[in-house]
Structure 1
């Protein structure tokens, strides 16, 4: 078909070049945003007297008809059109005649696509925020249920000190809470309208950019027309934030994979989120956790690709910037899918409390508390450290836990030990004595849970 820009050209574009240049295969994704932006644009044009009210109403009716037909599947978006803007405008002209040709007055495809991408990204930020909030609600519910579920805390993948499952889950709550805050930050920074910037230098038409911005729920118009059409910072920020979300999901997935292993058996993943082996009947594989971990690289790739595409682009618009869409669309869809599936997986997981507590005991996670016991009874810390090291070696040789040693055995290594040592190094005492804010003690955890509940009730939604 004839191109909207074809007046300057004397022969048809080569088919291969046309296909290479076209973006309809992916930018059709924001047909709603394109039509919404066009409705706002013609509403403003009529307000400014550039179009008549009758022309405005005809165009808007035509645009709404196109939207309805696309939504209902009676109008298909095909590769007959170069991009979504061409599709909408060509169909509008077919439906309402020459009045449809006035749609593009005072507008360039440069500021049009900048608007569409901003509107689309803004909608997706809200979608991702919603999914993050759902995940946080599931985590908070689990935290409330497991303030007394003892487990080992790790450093270097070595058992370190006893904590609770609530405390461990709370660490991820903080991560995903920061992810929501990043969504809000990006929304605030990007929420300015580029429409009216033209190709790069504005327009001679007396547009009311403030009015257009308000119709589209932006805080106001962008303040430099060159930057408006050349800016993809908000996409880079969004992809960076999505990469961070995926990194957090991947870390959590790695732990689920470890906890699900035969050696740990801390969790049992629900059958709906597991698969078996085609040859080994005993297998129950944590496929969803592994796929989330694997798909993290895919989102990282989108971020690096866009950073690389943008690094050498002079002002203002260049065709390289068309590469932003497929990358961003894929990263958004991947992250949203991973968030939804991961939330479902952890919501249905069964935690083996007995295995967790036994693992904490047999990992000598209470060794520090045994040393603290000696210090409280007058032994210098460095000496106490050495004494407990001897206790650990003794237990390793006999394949027992510190709690399993008799008082007689303890006294052979240090006469300072008395019967109260058993209470001092119980998992319950080791955890509950740690009650500074942010620690795993039950009193501290309940205070944190109250704060997290209050945070979720605040309804921190971007743009609100």
Structure 2
């Protein structure tokens, strides 16, 4: 490495780093994703320096024009990245100086790469989270649209506990269950976005600066709510990245659960739905196969996103204040988790409307397996029978049917009354799915009337 390329810190050293050390130390190959926000921060910093009289107006103009020229090279794909310059910051600064001359070196006045990278990272994450919230809204809108599509007439499928048939529910209700989970995921992402929106710029290396800078001015120019209050915290903390990764880990788990049910429901064993060909793959040896590979990948990537959180938690758990080179390792897991989650959301948004549901198979499954047994227990409880006693009575009915190879709908009124005298024609009707489904009309329930009311609210939330 020549002395010219050691301008960042070379004055202290009498020899250049070894090639292997230089390669090990370099981060430009991944932190170049921060290039545009790095320039955004530098433009705000230069404008502030001029406003405070630290740079002349002419110097600020030269720097601004040079930064915009560098930005255009990056956008055009003509920018030449150089490993010996170590990171995105020095690649941009050296190119700036090549374009505008020595005045480019004044840009780093009252600034360190420590506050610079912390600012870049917050700007980048903020932009990604804003885009992510828009992605999530699009997926939530699809869930609302699908729920509305299958409400008239209502499609019914089994609801499960322990992966055993439990009670019938509307397919629309199933869609809206995931809507609620995704809404909470969006809330966690929004919370993280709100907390990270503070500016570290001007904290310098760790102790602030003696130059008469205006941190409130740069914070405002960059769209931050305020400057961070403590310079050591500003450069040495990455809890905002941890919070984002925690939110994304939970959010990817939500997508994984949805993907798992899509995988199950599209198997021959369930047969509730068929995947669109555009979102399926085949086998290299078995001609009949139609695999839910994309849903399986979403399920698998939950471990990947969770791994990103664990990586950063492990990385930061023992770091003393303030900046340590370990923090260079915060970016790759963050970038990967953000990319993975956003891609998964977009894929589900495109895939869900193409699922073809099989109403007959779903209805038959929902009606069998004694899934309406609770309706008979509730019927007795409504007539004054203690629920535990009613539960026992209906349990005996279920055992009787299982031994005789019957479903509840096959029972006569005389058979029902043989187990309890309070059963009448109304109870017999409850062994029919089309009647029973309307009883679960409490707030948040699965009855068509309750789902219809829920949809009124949710359509406003996502502007359907």
Taking structure 1 as the reference length, what is the TM-score of the superposition? Answer: 0.95
390-399 vs 134-143, greater mean Cα deviation:
390-399
Change (3 A) 1:395 1:108: same
Match of 2:288 in 1: 282
Match of 2:230 in 1: 224
Change (3 A) 1:408 1:277: farther
Change (3 A) 1:404 1:64: same
Shift of 1:412: 4.7
Find the partner of 1:54 among 39, 58, 77. 58
Equivalent position SS for 1:357? helix
Find the partner of 2:439 among 433, 444, 457. 433
Deviation per CA, 1:91-145: give whole Å up to 9, x if none: 0111111111111111100000001101001011112111111110000111112
Deviation per CA, 1:409-445: give whole Å up to 9, x if none: 4445455543333322322332211222111112221
Which structure 1 segments of 5+ residues have no match?
Answer: 459-464
Q: How far apart, in 2, do the equivalents of 1:327 and 1:439 lie?
A: 40
**Matched residue pairs, number?**
458
Q: How far apart, in 2, do the equivalents of 1:281 and 1:346 lie?
A: 25
Shift of 1:174: 0.8
Deviation per CA, 1:347-366: give whole Å up to 9, x if none: 21111122111111112111
Find the partner of 2:303 among 285, 297, 306. 297
Equivalent position SS for 1:152? strand
Find the partner of 2:249 among 243, 260, 282. 243
Is 1:173 the counterpart of 2:204 in the alignment? no
Is 1:389 the counterpart of 2:415 in the alignment? no
Q: How far apart, in 2, do the equivalents of 1:246 and 1:69 lie?
A: 35
Equivalent position SS for 1:420? helix
Match of 1:462 in 2: none
Q: How far apart, in 2, do the equivalents of 1:94 and 1:113 lie?
A: 22
Match of 2:134 in 1: 130
278-287 vs 97-106, greater mean Cα deviation:
278-287
Match of 1:348 in 2: 354
Q: How far apart, in 1, do the equivalents of 2:419 and 2:230 lie?
A: 76
- Quick check: 2:282–2:291 contact (8 Å CA) kept in 1? yes
Equivalent position SS for 1:103? helix
Match of 2:370 in 1: 364
Deviation per CA, 1:295-316: give whole Å up to 9, x if none: 1101111101101110111111
33-42 vs 15-24, greater mean Cα deviation:
15-24
Equivalent position SS for 1:151? strand
Q: How far apart, in 2, do the equivalents of 1:20 and 1:378 lie?
A: 76
Deviation per CA, 1:275-299: give whole Å up to 9, x if none: 1122222221111111111111011
- Quick check: 1:118–1:190 contact (8 Å CA) kept in 2? yes
Is 1:141 the counterpart of 2:145 in the alignment? yes
Is 1:7 the counterpart of 2:7 in the alignment? no
Shift of 1:188: 1.2
Aligned-pair RMSD on alpha carbons? 1.7
In the TM superposition, structure 1's runs of 4+ consecutive aligned residues that sit over 6 Å from their partners are: none
- Quick check: 2:412–2:428 contact (8 Å CA) kept in 1? no
Find the partner of 1:65 among 53, 69, 73. 69
